[in-house]
Amino acid sequence: MDPAGKLLTIKIIHTLIWAFFVAVIGYVLYSGVADRVTPYTWVGIALVIGEGVTLLIFRMFCPLTLIARKYSDSQKDNFDIFLPNWLAKHNKLIFTSIFVVAVVIVCYRSFLQ
């Protein structure tokens, strides 16, 4: 496969994984707001924390971004994923904030209510 094909494959995989985690974060938020905390909520929280640990290990870069670097010299934030550049640039801040709010709500519903 040529470099452009490899980069396209990485972008597709990266976008699918991103969409999965956005859905998980959305589910955790819904669980807390709707007061429907289930074992799946805690699995979702664990998955997102695992993603965070992975990002910490790779110095706040997704491992797929590091692989994609081999196939592109683009300096754009969205060179490795199918997202608007502004969202790719602020992705971690936006979704970490939503996740923290969601976990606070879930913990309130689970332990303080």
Average pLDDT estimate for 59-64: 96
Q: Can you give the residue range of the structural domain that contains 100?
A: 3-112
Assign 113 a pLDDT band (cuts: 50, 70, 90): confident
Rounded to whole angstroms, the Cα distance separating 6 from 26 reads 30
Structure tokens at 93: 């801040």
Return the pLDDT at 107: 97
Average pLDDT over every residue of 54-72 = 96
Neighbour count for residue 50 (Cβ, 10 Å)? 10
Q: Is the pLDDT of residue 15 over 90?
A: yes
Domain total for the chain? 1
- Say how many Å lie between the first and final Cα of the chain, rounded: 55
Residues 27-44 pLDDT 10s = 999 999 999 999 999 999
**DSSP single-letter state for residue 81:** S
Are 48 and 106 in contact, with CB atoms under 8 Å apart? Answer: no
